Amino acid sequence: MSMRRTTKAARGAAATAVAVGLALVVAGCGGGDAGGGGTDDRAPARNAGPASAEPTAPAADVDKDIGEMKGPDGVTVTLHSVVRDSGGFVTVNGTVANHGTRVFNAVDWRSNESELRSRSSLSGATLVDKAGKKRYLVLRDTDGECLCTTGLSGLRPGESRPIFAQFPAPPAKVTEVDFQLPTMPPADVRITE
């Protein structure tokens, strides 16, 4: 390749990099309100924990409590919804709160699988159909990660975080199940459509 072609290619790459950089700067400066004030009155999004490749959970009605589990050291799980969707899944949504005096890490709530990357998750959660005598485990994605809240570590006293877990749906006639987490008493909950 000649020196001339190399120089031309380098200039083209540099021009592209500058254009991309300027586009990012312009995009970062935009987003103000229609009045031109340039401020955003909405509250900033709060990071619920360490960044992870966690799947997004359906929104839960946090004003509604359908079950509560009180565990050791002041940790409480409040369940807000257990919803069956048309895709054949049941999604459990709730909140974990630390009312104790020590930092909480959910390492005891994970399953015993070695391929999971998150050491603190809801991967050990189960739904139990007592009448049908069946236990449903948290679903996994194609990488073996649980379809549940991960990165549940460093929950300080007084803090709370939203949680979720997805399970295969029991038969349509099953509406009452127990939601279970290791180290916690079960919660008897009703599946809604």
pLDDT (mean) for 12-16: 49
Among candidate residues 52, 143, 141, 126, the one with its CA nearest the CA of residue 92: 126
Q: Give CA–CA dist 167/25, Å, rounded.
A: 43
Q: Structure tokens of 105?
A: 């890490």
pLDDT (mean) for 140-162: 88
> Considering the entire predicted model, what is its pTM?
0.64
Give pLDDT tens digits for 84-136: 998 899 999 999 999 999 988 877 777 666 555 556 788 889 999 998 999 99
Per DSSP, the three-state class of 79 is strand
Q: Is residue 36 pLDDT above 60, yes or no?
A: no
Give pLDDT tens digits for 73-97: 899 999 999 999 988 999 999 999 9
pLDDT (mean) for 6-24: 47
